[in-house]
Structure 1
Amino acid sequence: RHSSACTLMPAPAPLRCLLIDDEPLAHTVLRAYLDRLPGLATWAGSCYGAVEALTFLRTMPVDVLFLDVDMPGLTGLELLRALPQPPAVVLCTAHAAHALDGFELGVVDYLLKPIRFERFVKTINRLHAGNGAGIPAGPPVAPAIAPEPAVDSLFLKTDAGTERVRFAELLFVEGYGNFVKCHLASGRVLLTAETMKQMESQLPAGHFLRIHKSYLVNLASVERLSGNLLLVRARELPVGSTYRQDVLRHLHLR
C-alpha cells in the first residue's frame, strides 16, 4: 500500500553573503536588509576593499558576493576577473556604466544605489531560484531582447533599388534630415527616404529601441552604457534625456 502522507522537502539553507564595499553606509544598509530575511540569507562577513576580500575568500567560502564596482586600488570588476572560481556575484554601484561588463562576467544581478529593500528581495529570490530552491525569480538580468520575430527582415528603398535587410544585420538607424541612415554589421550604410517614426514602426519593438530623437538601436548590438553614451560596435551614440529611463528599463539597470 502507498502511504498518503506528504513528503516535505527540506528548506533551503540560508545564503552566506559577503559584503564588499569601501563605503561603511553600504554595509549598514545591506546588513539591515539581510537581518530582515532570516532563513533566506545571512551575513558572512564585511570587506572594505578588494584585496581584503581576496584574503577572506581564501579561508571562508561564501555563496554570494555583494560587490561594489568603484573601489580604490582594485575595482570590483578587477577582483571578479581575478577570482578563479567566484561564487554568485551581485554588483552594487551608484553608476550604470559597468552593467554590460558585469553581464559578460556572468553576474547574477546588478543593483543600483540607493538600493531599495524590495529590489534586494528580488535579488535574493533570484539567487535561490538559481540554486534550485524553487523560489520564483525576478526578470532575467540581460538586455530585454524578445524572442525572434516571425518576420526577420524588411525591404528598404535606396538609390540602387529595393534591398532586403535582415534585422540581425541592422546595428542602428540614424536620422539624417529627410532621410535615415541604416548602419549594417558589414560596415555598409544604406540611405533611404524613410522617417525615424516609419522605421520605428517597421522594426520589432522587442529588438530595437529608440534612444534619441535621431537614433534607433538593435539591442543585441549594445556593448556598454557609459553615462549618456551607448556603445554599439565601437560607435558611441547619445542617449536623449527623454529616452534614458526607457533605455535603463530595457537594459534592466533600473
Structure 2
Amino acid sequence: MSSSSLLPAAPPAPLRCLLVDDEPLAHTVLRAYLDRLPGLAAWAGSCYGAVEALTFLRATPVDVLFLDVDMPELTGLELLRALPQPPAVVLCTAHAAHALDAFELGVVDYLLKPIRFERFVKTIGRLQAGAAPPAPLPLAPDPPPPAPADSIFIKTDAGTERVRFAELLVVEGYGNFVKCHLASGRVLLTAETMKQMESELPALHFVRTHKSYLVNITRVDRLSGNCLHVGSREVPVGSTYRHGVLASLKLR
C-alpha cells in the first residue's frame, strides 16, 4: 500500500455561488449567510437581472445559481429554461406557487423568502452532498422504527410520519420528489423515488398505473377510459400498465 493512500481525502472546495435577484436586500442577506460558511460556499458574483446573468454565466463558471423568480425583462424560470447546461439551481422566491415549475425543471431546492439561516445551511448541505462523494461515516444512522404490517413510514422535511396503507390513495412522481395523496386531503412530499415507494408498498394493494403513478387499488371508485377515479382524483392509466391494472381490478 502506498503512503499516499494513507493520507485523508482533501475536503471538497467551497461551492462557487452566483445570486441573481433584482432586490439589493436579497444580495445583502445571502452574502452574509455565505460569509458565515467559508469552508462550504463562496461568493462568485451578483447579478440584478436575468439578462445580466446570461452574460455572466457565459464567461464565469459557477457551481450553484441562487435564482429569484419574479424579475423584470426575463423571469428566473425563463432564464433557467434558456440555459443549455445550467449549474445546480436553488430558486429563491416569496411565492410558493412556483414549486411545481421548479421541480419540473430539476432544481435542487426551493427557498421561500424571507430565507432563514438554518434553512440556508440545509440547502448548502444538500448541494455539498451532491457535489462530492459523501465521506464514510463511523457509525450507521439508527434505522427508522419498523412499520406495522398495515402502514409505512414516510420521511418528509417535517419528520418521519406513519401512514396506514388504507389512508394512502395515490403516489405521484413529482420531479425529484414524490407526492403521497392521503384520504384526508393532505399531501406529503418526500424525497423517496417512485421505485423505492413501489418496493415498500404491498403489491397486493398498490398497482403501477403509469410511470408517474401508483394507486391503492382498494380505493378505486371506477375505471373510465384510460383514467382511474380515486376519490376526487383522476389518475391516468398508461398503455404499458393497462393489462396489470385490469388484472388487479379483475376486469380482464
User: Which of the five TM-score ranges fits, normalised by the shorter chain?
Assistant: 0.5 to 0.7
Which aligned pairs between 1:231-242 and structure 2 lie closer than 5 A?
Answer: none
Instruction: Provide the C-alpha distance between the structure 1 equivalents of 2:29 and 2:224, rounded to a whole number of angstroms.
Output: 46
Deviation at 1:184, TM superposition (A): 6.6
SS at match of 1:147: helix
Instruction: Provide the C-alpha distance between the structure 1 equivalents of 2:224 and 2:29, rounded to a whole number of angstroms.
Output: 46
Contact 1:49 1:72 in 2 (8 A): yes
How high is the TM-score relative to the length of structure 2? Answer: 0.60
Instruction: Provide the C-alpha distance between the structure 2 equivalents of 1:122 and 1:92, rounded to a whole number of angstroms.
Output: 14
Deviation at 1:23, TM superposition (A): 1.1
Contact 2:20 2:50 in 1 (8 A): yes
In structure 2, the residue matched to 1:201 is none
SS at match of 2:120: helix
Equivalences, count: 181
Q: Please give the per-residue CA displacement for 1:213-251, whole angstroms capped at 9, x wherever unaligned.
A: xx5798x99xxxxxxxxxxxxxxxxxxxxxxxxxxxxxx
Which aligned pairs between 1:42-121 and structure 2 lie closer than 5 A?
Answer: 42-121=42-121
In structure 2, the residue matched to 1:147 is 197
In structure 2, the residue matched to 1:40 is 40
Deviation at 1:134, TM superposition (A): 2.1
Task: Say if 1:116 and 1:217 are closer, same or farther in 2 by CA, change over 3 A.
Answer: farther
Contact 1:18 1:66 in 2 (8 A): yes
Which sections of structure 1, spanning at least 5 residues, go unmatched? 155-164, 174-179, 191-195, 197-214, 222-254
The one-letter code matched in structure 2 to 1:142 is F
Identical counterparts, % of pairs: 64
Contact 1:109 1:141 in 2 (8 A): no
SS at match of 2:30: helix
Higher relative contact order (CA 8 A, sep 6+): 1
In structure 2, the residue matched to 1:186 is 226
Q: What is the CA RMSD across the aligned residues, in angstroms? A: 3.7
SS at match of 1:46: strand
Which sections of structure 2, spanning at least 5 residues, go unmatched? 138-155, 158-174, 179-189, 238-252
Instruction: Provide the C-alpha distance between the structure 1 equivalents of 2:4 and 2:61, rounded to a whole number of angstroms.
Output: 41
In structure 1, the residue matched to 2:187 is none
Which aligned pairs between 1:145-224 and structure 2 lie closer than 5 A?
Answer: 147-148=197-198, 149-152=200-203, 154=205, 166=207, 168=209, 186-187=226-227, 189=229
The one-letter code matched in structure 1 to 2:43 is W
